[in-house]
Copies of this chain bind each other. A is one copy, B any other.
Amino acid sequence: MLKLTKKVDYALLALNLMAKSGEDGISNVRDIASLYSIPPEILAKVMQKLSKAGLIQSHNAPKGGYSLKVQAEEISVLKVLTAVEGPVGIVSCSDGTDRTCQQHDQCDIRSPLERLQNNILWFLEALSIRELGQEPAVLKGVTDGSSVFGQPLHHKG
């Protein structure tokens, strides 16, 4: 529950690798899958979804593969999640998939849960593929205090 799927993990790993390999670096499915021990067929599907979402550019040819279509800073984790798994919603009622919710009429906790969801989405949108590849030490400098990252788990107690 509240867990990212493996497909998303794979997508993030691949995108992070591509981000590190520079602007026009081309990586193919076979190599990435081999490096991270990912089933090639699965990664292939994931990459296709990222391509359709406009996050990466496909080069369909020998020595081809994929390259980032936009800068790593512009690719948020939320975009990746949405591209791979569809719209994100922590409550089933709020993503339009559950139109037969038995609790809908009596439900009196929707608003706060949706607010909570918006915050999570905001975080996912705020974290870019570029930041994903930063070492903790590097990230630390810009994440203490004002930034949303690196907050303590417990706000009290």
Contact = CB atoms under 8 A, between A and B. Distances in A.
Nearest to A16: B109
Nearest to A74: B157
Contacts of A61: none
B155 A125 contact: yes
15 contacts: A9-B92, A9-B103, A12-B109, A36-B102, A36-B103, A36-B107, A37-B102, A108-B133, A111-B139, A112-B134, A115-B136, A115-B149, A118-B152, A122-B151, A125-B154
Nearest to A84: B1
A21 interface: no
A26 interface: no
A150 interface: yes
A13 B109 CA distance: 7
Nearest to A91: B4
A118 to B, nearest CB: 5
